[in-house]
Structure 1
């Protein structure tokens, strides 16, 4: 089913995701993608979402396709990738390895602190 970019309804209606998964950070979207999706495009999607102010999956599903499409750096390809990821999460939320996601979050926090101290680039 194609994406209706003129829809102002929340994505929550299209993607019924359990409340416990709404608090996950947006890089959990990358873990929900199939192996055939490119890592680079998924990383670019996550970066664009972060720059647009989306922090959690709950933030994304509380917005509409209009809001997401109007965000800088998010076009039709990234919207399609987001749709695939949200469909995977809503259909099979158990596929997300929460421990791995938390480990990556902690690692990113440590890297950020080390960059701020000038220890790494």
Structure 2
């Protein structure tokens, strides 16, 4: 993914990721990298995202390239790695649900989020949640 001409374009417009994946926590990005980036690089990217209040895929997609460039301790490497990971999710969304590399706390958090989102979806269908 090359740097877009308009840096103020939302990442949602650049990466067609299904809306159901927006609540997925950013720490799951570590599990979809294949062998292209080391766990150290991925951890630094994820930690930087979290310290800049990007906690979910949706938070990232609702930002712009400029927002990421302004993020503290993120830099060009972080942007390149993140764009690669988002493109992988856009190409194969099921990758974002791979929990095989997670520790027990992370796995519990993912299950909690998935359960909450399924409850919200049912409540929306009944017209009880906006």
TM-score when normalising by structure 1: 0.79
CA contact (8 A) 2:52 2:71 kept: yes
CA distance in 2, matches of 1:52, 1:35: 26
Instruction: Give the total of aligned pairs.
Output: 108
Q: Call closer, same or farther: CA 1:19–1:107 in 2, change over 3 Å.
A: closer
**Aligned with 1:40: secondary structure?**
helix
Equivalence map 1:73-92=2 (5 Å)? 73-92=73-92
**TM-score of the superposition, structure 2-length normalised?**
0.74
Secondary structure at 2:47 match in 1: helix
Matching residue of 2:64: 64
Change (3 A) 1:20 1:98: farther
Structure 1 residue 36, shift from structure 2 partner: 2.2
Task: List gaps (5 residues or longer) in structure 1.
Answer: 109-121
> Which stretches in structure 2 are left out of the alignment for 5+ residues?
110-130
Distance, in Å, in 1 between the alignment partners of 2:59 and 2:87 is 16
Partners of 1:5 and 1:76 in 2: how far apart? Answer: 16
RMSD of aligned alpha carbons: 2.2
Deviations along 1:75-103, whole A, 9 cap, x unmatched? Answer: 11110000000000010011234544594
Q: 1:29 to 1:5 in 2, by over 3 A?
A: farther
Distance between the aligned counterparts of 2:16 and 2:51, measured in 1?
Answer: 25
